[in-house]
Amino acid sequence: MIVLPGGGYAAHAPHEAEPVAGWLGEIGVQASVFRYPLNVRHPAPLDALRAEIGRQRAAGAERIGLIGFSAGGHLAGLAALAPGTAPDETVQFAVLGYAITSMETETYRPSRLILLGEDASPELRRSTSLDALVTPDSPPFFVWHTAEDAYVPPEHTYRLASALAASGVPHVVHVFAHGPHGLGLAQNAGETAIWTTLAEAWIREQAAPREESPPNPGGMPCPSTSARTSMDSSAAT
C-alpha cells in the first residue's frame, strides 16, 4: 500500500506517514510513504502519484492500495477514481480517513485554493470532486470520519458514500461520534481507535492475490469479471 499523509496540500503530517506504514507492516501489508508535491496546482500531485504507482507495479506489485488522510485522502481518491489512468497506474482499493472529497463545498477552502487556485471554474471543481468521479467500475473503498471534525466535516464522507452506493461500488463507511480532525491512527482516542481494527480485515481481504478465472472448455458463458460483490456499508457512532 502507498501511504499519503494529509496536510492541506501545504505540508505532510508526520503522524499520518511512517507510523501508518509501520502499522500496515505489523499486520503483514507491505507499505511505503509517498510524499507528493506540495503547494502546486492540479494535476501535479496526481501525476506524481500515478508515476509512483507505475513504478511500484513495474517493480512487481500486482495489487496496489492507497491509504490517505485529509488532503492525502483526496489525492488517494483522485488516483482511484479520475479518468485517464494508464493500465499500470490503476489501484485496486483505497482507504480514506477524514478525507476532503468535494471541491464544490466551501469547507476547508485553503486546500482548494492551493490545488485549484482562486478562480477555479465550476467544471474544474466538479472534476476534482470524488463523488462526481464514481462509476460502477470504481474500486472498493473503506472510508472513516468523525462527526465532530470541524475542519473537514463528515459531509465529505457522506457525499462520497452516497455516490459509491448509487453506483453499486463495494464500500465500508464508519462515522464515529467523537474525535477532532487529524487523528491518524487514533491511538487512545476512545471508540474511534477501533478504526484500525475494522480496517485490518478489510485491507487483508483486498490485498490478497486474486485467483485467475478457471478455463472454460465447455464454452459456457463466464460471469463478467467486472461484476461487483454486494455492498458492505456500515456506520459506527
Count of all residues that appear for the chain in the document: 237
- Are the C-beta atoms of 162 and 183 separated by less than 8 Å? no
pLDDT on residue 14: 98
pLDDT for residue 220 is more than 60: no
pLDDT on residue 210: 79
pLDDT for residue 225 is more than 50: no
pLDDT for residue 230 is more than 80: no
Q: What is the DSSP string of 56-103?
A: HHHTT--S-EEEEETHHHHHHHHHHH-S---GGG--SEEEEES----S
pLDDT for residue 224 is more than 60: no
For 207-216, write each residue's pLDDT tens digit: 998 765 444 4
pLDDT for residue 122 is more than 60: yes
Residue percentage of the chain with pLDDT more than 90: 86
pLDDT on residue 192: 98
pLDDT on residue 180: 98
The DSSP symbol for 98 reads S
pLDDT on residue 106: 84
Q: By three-state DSSP, how is residue 229 classified?
A: coil
pLDDT for residue 8 is more than 80: yes
The DSSP symbol for 17 reads S
Overall average pLDDT of the 133-140 stretch: 98
- Are the C-beta atoms of 39 and 27 separated by less than 8 Å? no
User: What are the cell numbers at 22?
Assistant: 509501520
Crossing angle of helices 44-58 and 71-81, rounded to 10°: 60
- Are the C-beta atoms of 69 and 99 separated by less than 8 Å? yes
For 84-120, write each residue's pLDDT tens digit: 999 999 999 999 999 999 999 987 889 999 999 999 9
Q: By three-state DSSP, how is residue 212 classified?
A: coil
**Integer Cα distance of 180 and 76 in angstroms:** 21
pLDDT for residue 141 is more than 80: yes
**Integer Cα distance of 206 and 160 in angstroms:** 19
Across the chain, mean pLDDT equals 90
| CA neighbours closer than 13 Å in the CB half-sphere of residue 228 | 19
pLDDT on residue 228: 33
**Integer Cα distance of 5 and 49 in angstroms:** 13
The DSSP symbol for 148 reads T
pLDDT on residue 235: 38
For 189-207, write each residue's pLDDT tens digit: 999 999 999 999 999 999 9
Residue percentage of the chain with pLDDT more than 70: 89
**Integer Cα distance of 217 and 205 in angstroms:** 30
Torsional class of 182: left (φ above 0), alpha (ψ -120 to 50), beta (otherwise):
left
pLDDT for residue 223 is more than 60: no
**Integer Cα distance of 84 and 65 in angstroms:** 18
> Which helix H or strand E contains 111, and what residues bound it?
helix 109-116
**Integer Cα distance of 92 and 116 in angstroms:** 27
pLDDT for residue 231 is more than 70: no
